[in-house]
Structure 1
Amino acid sequence: MADPVGPTGTDAQRIDVHQHVIPPDRARAITARAAAVAWPAPAWDQASALAMMDRRSITTGVLSYAAPLAGPDDPAGAREVARGVNEFTAELVKNRPDRFGHFAALPLPDVDGALAEAAHALDELQADGVMVLSNIHGRYLGDPAFEPLWAELDARSAVVLVHPTAPSGAPLPEIPPPLADFPYDTTRTALHLTMRGVPRRYPRMRMILPHAGGFLPYAATRFALAARLPDGAAPGAPSGTPEELLADLRRFYFDTALSAGPSTLPSLLAFAEPEHILYGSDFPMLPEDWGIGFDTALDEYAHWEPGRLHAVNRGNAELLIPRLAHAPVP
């Protein structure tokens, strides 16, 4: 039976873990990036974000900057952009802690820079977590070079949003990368992390995979067969059975952005731990009418177990980021 609430009901006051910020000095870069992949150019300002949130029953949006910070040969530039983005976003949260949260950008692949920025963001700026891209100039997140970062974030029990980006190589002709390549890359990096044993070694670090984890829930049983490969066929893979590998894949959290379709949602609900599914809008990276359509599909799904829609819309995010449970509902 579905939860007896809709998008205007009090129980539908959502916490949005996948909402983006575009500081004014980054607007031109974001517009150029969108044009390069034939995607509608997003625009952002605080007033339009709050108005959207009111229209869509979103109490709080956890903001992140979802784009490369600099070129692969410019670590100093990446550090500078990360610091500027994070301080801009922290000021928004300081002024409206009831409406905004903050996942801080980290200047990977510069691990020392990422460690320094994580400490600054989490300790000084009071960020709710950090955000990393699914690959950094072609390097996936299971790369051993990133191990010190995962160890530090695990020690802090940090929340990490793994935002998709385009994989290396040419995109599919006539298909914008955000539609096909981004969920593909989310799946690749989640598998890379799991096969390198990162979720198992660092269980206190909570990683969110946007867009229902790409293709991960749908194909998880297939991926778990990697545990049956001959020795040496999957170097670095954690030992164990397919069931243990599936358990590692279920350590991830998943958001619902663009993922409440009639085939995607049942697959996600069948695979993910019940408390690991979170609401996401992806505003302003897609036209709002698209997002509203997915909101409606989420609310009108006919097979919700009692209480589970509220958990997805809000309750699970309150467990993941307890500060948000105490923010006043506007």
Structure 2
Amino acid sequence: MTRPTGMTGTAQTTAATARTSPTGLVDVHAHFVTDRYVAAARVAGIAHPDGMPGWPAWSVDQHLDVMDRSGIDKSYLSISSPGVHFGDDKAARALAREVNEFGAGVRGERPERFGHFAALPLPDVDGALAETAHALDVLGADGVAVETNHHGLYLGAPRLEPLWQELDRRGALVFVHPTSPPRADEVDLGRPRPMLEFLFDSARAASDLLLRGVLARHARIRWVLTHGGGALPLLADRMELFRALLSADTDGRSADGSAVEQLSRLWYDMAGTPFPRQVPALRAAFGTERLLYGSDYCWTPAASVVEQVASVDAAEQPADGGTWRDLTTRNAHRLFTPDPA
């Protein structure tokens, strides 16, 4: 999520140039909301999700307009934080099914412009397994979306192992979106949590997947982390340092590579503020072989999406002579056409 800003004349010129670029972007981090979804959240008392002022508006036409203005060929839609589970398993299962049917409908009507990652009603694992099967087998979803934690249940928790086993069996794509940490109101200092807490929670979730051996056990899952991994690039070496102090039963410490090596096998999008610091930090830690483009629309306003794309086009481009558009789109094609196992 980025702070709304006005466009400068230079940014407008750059964005106009981007629209005529031969390489269209593939946006793996794009969101939708529906009236019924927002209504269900409000009934649950969520008027200011994650400390934000309110809920965004969204429509297919608005989304296509932003894509056309920014040179985005295709967007993969998902439900953002706070997800679909507001405290009741049965209601969460019904809401997940409803938003997934809607997302699949948008994808079905414009498959050349939209993809879809299905919402899961976690922390209800049985419900998540059922919805995974329906979404992937019936709706044809391109992957599933989970949050960095689900009511305090982080992704390395043993309770989630049946879900990871099933997704690993399928070689599925798992889009990991940040959310507020437990007791967030005690640490957010009254500020919107996407500003800082989301970035810390992405690193926390990735560390849990790493240190509990989930990444090593389920190597066929295509994990996608947002916002350049948040704080993760700055912490990967520190995680490796501390792994030596942990108990001897930590999975995968030697056979599956160092922390940096394992985290380099994940995919990362550049949603947020990719330049001048976010992408260089990610590149220094993990390289750019699995770097993807992400807009974070509709939670990021349309003007800010256009401004962000302009910053990507205006940044110093990769050393191989291509562009960030070329690189991220090429990587996205690899992500969505994985090698057969």
TM above 0.5, yes or no, is yes
Matching residue within 200, 207, 225 for 2:223: 207
| 1:292 aligned partner | 306
| 1:317 aligned partner | 332
Structure 1 stretch displaced more, 150-159 or 310-319: 310-319
Matching residue within 263, 268, 279 for 2:277: 263
| 2:84 aligned partner | 69
2:259 match: secondary structure: helix
Structure 1 stretch displaced more, 116-125 or 272-281: 272-281
2:276 match: secondary structure: coil
Is contact 1:102-1:128 (8 Å) kept? yes
| 2:21 aligned partner | 10
Is contact 2:23-2:326 (8 Å) kept? no
Structure 1 runs not aligned, ≥5 long: 324-330
Deviation for aligned residue 1:308: 5.3
Q: Using a 3 Å threshold, how does the CA distance of structure 1 residues 211 and 29 change in structure 2: closer, same or farther?
A: farther
CA distance in 1, matches of 2:253, 2:278: 30
Identity across aligned pairs (percent)? 39
User: Taking structure 2 as the reference length, what is the TM-score of the superposition?
Assistant: 0.87
| 2:92 aligned partner | 78
1:207-226 to structure 2, matched below 5 A, reads: 207-226=223-242
| 2:5 aligned partner | none
Q: Using a 3 Å threshold, how does the CA distance of structure 1 residues 61 and 289 change in structure 2: closer, same or farther?
A: same
| 1:193 aligned partner | 209
2:74 match: secondary structure: strand
CA distance in 1, matches of 2:46, 2:75: 23
Is contact 2:118-2:144 (8 Å) kept? yes
CA distance in 2, matches of 1:228, 1:132: 29
Is contact 1:227-1:240 (8 Å) kept? no
CA distance in 1, matches of 2:209, 2:144: 17
| 2:194 aligned partner | 178
Structure 2 runs not aligned, ≥5 long: 1-13
1:117-196 to structure 2, matched below 5 A, reads: 117-169=131-183, 170=185, 171-196=187-212
CA offsets 1:29-88 (integer angstroms, 9 cap, x no match) = 56774625133531101110111111111111100011321323x111111001001001
Q: Using a 3 Å threshold, how does the CA distance of structure 1 residues 230 and 275 change in structure 2: closer, same or farther?
A: closer
| 2:259 aligned partner | 245
CA distance in 2, matches of 1:21, 1:115: 23
CA distance in 2, matches of 1:308, 1:243: 31
Is contact 1:40-1:287 (8 Å) kept? no
Q: Using a 3 Å threshold, how does the CA distance of structure 1 residues 28 and 230 change in structure 2: closer, same or farther?
A: closer
1:221 match: secondary structure: helix
Deviation for aligned residue 1:241: 8.7
CA offsets 1:120-165 (integer angstroms, 9 cap, x no match) = 1111100000000110001100000101111111111111100110
Is contact 1:207-1:253 (8 Å) kept? yes
Letter matched to residue 208 of structure 1: V
Structure 1 stretch displaced more, 101-110 or 168-177: 168-177
| 2:61 aligned partner | 47
Letter matched to residue 329 of structure 2: R
2:144 match: secondary structure: strand
Matching residue within 107, 111, 127 for 2:121: 107
Deviation for aligned residue 1:314: 1.2
Structure 1 stretch displaced more, 150-159 or 218-227: 218-227
Q: Using a 3 Å threshold, how does the CA distance of structure 1 residues 83 and 49 change in structure 2: closer, same or farther?
A: same
1:281 is the counterpart of 2:292 = no
Is contact 1:228-1:241 (8 Å) kept? no
Letter matched to residue 28 of structure 1: A
Structure 1 stretch displaced more, 220-229 or 250-259: 220-229
Is contact 1:279-1:312 (8 Å) kept? no
Deviation for aligned residue 1:230: 5.2
